[in-house]
Amino acid sequence: MTDLDLYLEQHGGRFEEELCHLLRIASVSTDGLHGAELREAAQWIARQLQDVGLATELIETAGNPVVYAESPAVAGAPTALIYGHYDVQPPEPLEEWLSPPFEPTRRDGNLFARGTSDDKGQLYTHLKAAEAWMRVRGGLPLQLKFLIEGEEEVGSSSVSQLIVQDPQRFACDVVVISDSTQFAPGQPAITYGLRGIAYFELKLAGPKHDLHSGSFGGAVTNPANCVARMMASLVDECGRVQIPGFYDDVAPLTDRERGQFAALQHDETLFLQQVGVDGATGEEGFTALERRWARPTCDINGLYGGYQGEGAKTVLPARAGAKFSFRLVPHQDPAKIGSALRTKLEALCPPGIQMELIAMHTGSPVLVPLDSPYLTAASRAIQHGFGCPPVFTREGGSIPIVTLFREKLGADSLLLGWGQEDDNAHAPNEKFNLADFHRGIRASAHLWNELQHARP
Ligand code: BES
Ligand code: MN
Ligand code: MN
């Protein structure tokens, strides 16, 4: 055991208490109602980084503040930029939480609260690893830059603007992100691929107010019927997207990669059981991992229109709509998908309906090269922290800013997820395993050691 590991063991209890403080702050970014809590979370993280001894700044933006901190450059060693987000998803539905979402609670070795896994608990591991180096060794073996934002769950627009305006400030050799998952309990992973996303809202407006469906139905176009028909036209019963040209740029899975996916021990029956379904549909000829990691999708995220209350009301609603998103894979282009979608929906919109299609946010799909020395360094650090080497996975979620790091900073990201697939991210009863929290801190502390000598 190294002096660093000893420090982490001695201070582990305090790290948990500190994380609980951050988790009590309801920094929800989605609804625009939690500006004060978002600021409080940013300030709290900034104070922590300051206390660790890093040069820290709370950068004001048009949206939520961005926390930035850096340690001095180290001659001959690379610079690593650690990215994470302090904003969280809304906790609703509240009645499904076994303990309140912003009162962190320990059960069965897990810490339950909104943001434990996505992403407060994960990002915090890197702060504590930096603290250990500063306290035990009096400095870091390479330059670290922390970039912690509060708009990841709503598209990262403010932090993206900062990077575009002043890429020099965030210049680095490699980016480190812990905002994804391990392959399974006891099986850590390095993620080399993420899906992209293109998110839309379709708003349909019909008559100037709701109408009696008996008096008017049949002669006035019903926006709710329309939204159902238009949405159903986008994707078939197997999940095959029905937009002309949608698959043109999809990189086919190679036999080599399919072999690698198949070599991962993945039990599809168990997977469906964990999700709570007795069967599934999906694209013909693809395994569940292939469908989730390397195939594009179209999913409705919300659907509205008409009477939602108890009992039956015979109404022809004046308005209806849908929120929906496509997960994209290399080399699909979110902008190209957006314009093909618009053409298709406009052609389907019948007389008597005003259609509005709002493009909400996009993110490009990501594949990071597997032959990087930084990846080798990360594998060794994970082996140290978790006691076994990582497997290499792709994942279905999206972190849009990864593409910007490549384009503006020329740096690839190490996606070192400490979470688990059943952490309930974005769902009730979000959790983070406390053993994984401490293993993640240990892996991070060793990552700084391994990275200092890594050179492309
Ligand atoms: N941490 C997730 C991304 C993620 C999820 C990575 C699962 C790997 C596996 C992130 O906070 C997130 O939720 N991203 C959004 C995208 C954003 C544009 C709203 C997502 O994937 O829906
Ligand atoms: Mn996240
Ligand atoms: Mn998220």
pLDDT digits (tens, 9 = 90+) for 89-99: 999 999 999 99
Query: What are the residues whose beta carbon lies below 5 Å from ligand 3 (ion)?
Result: 118
Among the bound ligands, name the one nearest to the CA of residue 120.
Answer: 2
**Tally of CA atoms within 13 A in the half-sphere of 281 that contains its CB:** 7
Listed in order, strand segments (DSSP E) in 344-409 are 354-363, 366-367, 391-395
- pLDDT tens digits, 23-45: 999 999 999 999 999 999 999 99
Distance 92 CA to ligand 3 centre (A): 14
- Percent of the chain at pLDDT > 70 equals 100
Q: What is the mean pLDDT of the chain?
A: 97
Pocket of ligand 1 (CB under 6 A): 118-119, 152-153, 155, 179-181, 194, 197, 361, 363, 395, 397-400
Q: What are phi and psi of 367, to 5 degrees?
A: -135, 125
Distance 195 CA to ligand 3 centre (A): 13
Asked if 247 contacts 347 with a C-beta cutoff of 8 angstroms, the reply is no
Burial of residue 267, with CB atoms counted within 10 A of its CB: 0-12 exposed, 13-18 middle, 19 or more buried: exposed
Among the bound ligands, name the one nearest to the CA of residue 198.
Answer: 1
User: Which secondary structure element, helix H or strand E, spans residue 213, and what is its range?
Assistant: helix 213-216
Distance 221 CA to ligand 2 centre (A): 41
- Nearest Cα residue to 131 out of 13, 8, 1: 8
* Residue 1: pLDDT over 80: no
Distance 440 CA to ligand 1 centre (A): 19
Which residue lies with its CA nearest to atom 20 of ligand 1?
398
CA of 426, closest atom in ligand 1: 13
* Residue 48: pLDDT over 80: yes
* Residue 183: pLDDT over 80: yes
Instruction: Report the residue among 31, 86, 178, 179 best suited for mutation to probe ligand 1: largest number of ligand atoms under 8 A from its CB.
Output: 179
Which residue lies with its CA nearest to atom 19 of ligand 1?
153
- pLDDT tens digits, 398-425: 999 999 999 999 999 999 999 999 999 9
- pLDDT tens digits, 307-340: 999 999 999 999 999 999 999 999 999 999 999 9
- pLDDT tens digits, 338-393: 999 999 999 999 999 999 999 999 999 999 999 999 999 999 999 999 999 999 99
Asked if 323 contacts 205 with a C-beta cutoff of 8 angstroms, the reply is no
* Residue 301: pLDDT over 90: yes
- Percent of the chain at pLDDT > 90 equals 98
Lookup: tokens for 125: 């591991």
Residue type, 326: F
Instruction: Report the residue among 151, 153, 156, 393 best suited for mutation to probe ligand 1: largest number of ligand atoms under 8 A from its CB.
Output: 153
State the DSSP string of 5-22.
Answer: HHHHHHHHHHHHHHHHHH
Distance 152 CA to ligand 2 centre (A): 7
CA of 155, closest atom in ligand 1: 18
Which residue lies with its CA nearest to atom 13 of ligand 1?
153
Which residue lies with its CA nearest to atom 7 of ligand 1?
397
pLDDT score at 456: 87
CA of 154, closest atom in ligand 1: 19
CA of 400, closest atom in ligand 1: 18
Lookup: tokens for 146: 């922390």
Among the bound ligands, name the one nearest to the CA of residue 415.
Answer: 1
Q: Dihedral sign, CA of 281, 285, 289, 294?
A: negative
pLDDT score at 4: 97
Supply angle C-alpha 213, 217, 220, rounded to 5: 120
Query: What are the residues whose beta carbon lies below 5 Å from ligand 2 (ion)?
Result: 118-119, 179
Distance 156 CA to ligand 1 centre (A): 11
Distance 211 CA to ligand 3 centre (A): 40
Instruction: Report the residue among 399, 422, 423 best suited for mutation to probe ligand 1: largest number of ligand atoms under 8 A from its CB.
Output: 399
